Amino acid sequence: MYNSGKIITGLIIFVGLVTLPFWYSIGKANIKPDPSLNTPVINQMKVKHCIESKQFMIDNHMELLNEWRNAVVRDNKTIYVSTTGQYFTMSLEDTCFHCHSNEKQFCNQCHSYVNIQPYCWECHVKPAEEIANGH
């Protein structure tokens, strides 16, 4: 084989680069995220239920938020009718954070785990509790 040295070195570098994500996370603890529902508002609820089913919210909250902002900003619609027929104001601050006032124990649990950094907080103000703590 001609240039076998170069080819093999190249292959090693290639394989190394392709498998980088695996090497990157080896040795890191894979602690299962555990979003906390322990907030004053949620604790007072008799039936702990989000605006839609838990599974739907886990899966689709980002699409839902995207629809909300389009509806509010672009179509002057501010009310969301849930599948159970309840009405909610489409507002991150007034609706979502009203219950989920614990960004660190709720939002960040999964977001950190899957290594995504949503830029919500660059504009939207974090839940009151967090601000009080000086974040």
Partner 1 sequence: MDIDKRKFLKVIGITSALWVGSRFTGGLSSVFGIGDTLDKKALADAGFEISKTLPDPKALIGKQWAVAIDLRQFKTPDDYKKCINVCDKIHNIPDIHTKQDVKWIWEEPYDNAFPEQHNNYMEGQLKDKSVILMCNQCEFPPCVRVCPTGATFKRHDGIVMMDYHRCIGCRYCMAGCPYGSRSFNFRDPRPFIKKIDPDYPTRTKGVVEKCDFCAERLDKGLMPACVEASKGAMVFGDIKDPNSDVRRILSNNFSIRRKPELGTQPNVFYII
What the block records as the tokens of 45 is 């609820």
Residue type, 50: C
Contact 50, 97 (CB under 8 A): no
Work out how close the CB of 46 gets to partner 1 at its nearest, in angstroms, rounded to a whole number. Answer: 23
8 or 73: CB nearest partner 1: 73
Shortest Å, Cβ 114 to partner 1: 5
Least distance (Å) between residue 12 CB and partner 1: 20
| Nearest partner of 88 among 119, 67, 109, judged by Cα | 67
Tokens of 94: 């007034």
Q: Which stretch binds partner 1 (CB under 8 A): 3-11, 36-44, 98-106, 112-120?
A: 112-120
Instruction: Please give the Cα distance from 88 to 81 (Å, whole number).
Output: 7
Determine the Cα–Cα distance for residues 84 and 73; give it in Å rounded to an integer. 24
Q: What is the DSSP letter of 89?
A: E
Number of residues that bind partner 1 (CB under 8 A): 49
Q: Which of 9, 36, 43, 78 binds partner 1 (CB under 8 A)?
A: 78
Binding partner 1 by CB under 8 A: which of 94, 112, 118, 135? 94
DSSP H or E run through 79:
strand 79-81
Site residues for partner 1 per CB under 8 A: 21-22, 24-26, 30, 32-33, 52-53, 55-56, 58-60, 63-64, 67-69, 71-83, 89-90, 93-94, 110, 113-116, 119, 122-125, 128, 131
